[in-house]
Structure 1
Amino acid sequence: MKTFQLKQELWSLGGRFNISDEAGMPHYQCEGSLFRVPKRFTITDMQGNLVSQIEKIFLSFLPTFKVNLACGESFTLRKEWTLFKPRYQIENLNMIIQGDFWNLDFDLEKDGQVLARISQEWLRLTSTYNIEVYDESYADLVISLVVAIDYVKAMEANSSNGS
């Protein structure tokens, strides 16, 4: 099992932040586009090697992202319409992400088996997620998913604050 912590920075143009491992050492770096439409995130390791690119699909009814991993895999992450618990479908990989009622804790599942658990901390100025990856071969994928989900939650919070 591998654990990570994703903590957004309070003041960051475009969305640049590090993702730390269990020892508190930076393991990944994420940088979001500032003025690019559609929004894009690039995740690298600390040596600057590409891990993944995440791009929001511009015209979609529900939030949808195209994720390209450096290993050559690509998939689409799509938020499903639900009443209470948030749910995301990962097309091409036959996985789902199921959230709790409060939209703070998520499980990544494949064939009924939990591959990762993601929990957001309460009462923080910035988004902070604790991530447990039970199969380390999915670490890059899970980190990419958390970045996309955090962006969806930020967009939803902005739209509800604006109305």
Structure 2
Amino acid sequence: MRLYIKQKVWSFKDRFTIKDDVERDVYYVEGEMLTFAKKLRLFDQQNEEQLYIEQKLWRFFPEYDLYQDGQQVATVKKDFELFKNNYTILGPDWHIEGSVMAHDYVIKEGNKVIADINKKWLSWGDAYEIIIHDEKSVSVLLGVVIVIDAVISQARNGQSAT
């Protein structure tokens, strides 16, 4: 499965459209306005919530919880490393390899690649290609990519990520 995330450049709140390989809208993400912590919701095309993402406040490094049907399914934490941009994913037994800062990385479960993520560089607004090899966790995989993009965007814009 191949999906594409495209951020809207001029939007008062976070908004992503997620398309398939024939450019059909498959999911969309909307953020809540006027909150201290970043809160995002992933919806399918039937407007059913697939994932809720909430930033934890007062952390030294960014940390987000991911929920499905009111149950926490994962936590994504930025790791402390001087010249690297690594993350820990708690919940599923996943790890990230590659250059997260350049958005060219893979998410693995053990030695098995479950997703490849690549940033499109010549794009108006951030755009990503996600190749999903294990379709059983699509929503959570998308959530991990969205969290990593949010952390990088906050750092790029000089906003506090705590």
Q: TM-score with structure 1 length normalisation?
A: 0.90
Tell me, which stretches of 5 or more residues in structure 2 are unaligned?
none
Alpha carbons of structure 1 residues 153 and 101: separation in structure 2 relative to 1, 3 Å? closer
**Equivalent position SS for 1:139:** helix
Q: How much has 1:71 moved relative to structure 2? A: 8.4
What is the RMSD of the two structures over their aligned residues, measured on CA atoms? Answer: 1.8
Q: Quote the residue 1:33 is aligned against.
A: 32
Q: Quote the residue 1:87 is aligned against.
A: 86
Alpha carbons of structure 1 residues 102 and 36: separation in structure 2 relative to 1, 3 Å? closer
Task: Give the ranges of 4+ consecutive aligned residues of structure 1 lying more than 6 Å apart after TM superposition.
Answer: none
Tell me, which stretches of 5 or more residues in structure 1 are unaligned?
none
* Whole-angstrom CA distance in 1 between matches of 2:122 and 2:26: 25
Q: Does 1:69 align with 2:68?
A: yes
Q: Quote the residue 2:21 is aligned against.
A: 22
Q: Tell which deviates more after alignment, 98-107 or 73-82.
A: 98-107
Q: TM-score with structure 2 length normalisation?
A: 0.90
Q: Quote the residue 2:141 is aligned against.
A: 142
Q: Quote the residue 1:60 is aligned against.
A: 59
> How many residues of Structure 1 are paired with residues of Structure 2 in the alignment?
159
**Equivalent position SS for 2:121:** coil
Q: How much has 1:96 moved relative to structure 2? A: 1.4
* Whole-angstrom CA distance in 1 between matches of 2:57 and 2:18: 26
Q: How much has 1:75 moved relative to structure 2? A: 1.4
Contact preservation (8 Å) 2:65, 2:72: no
Contact preservation (8 Å) 1:75, 1:91: yes
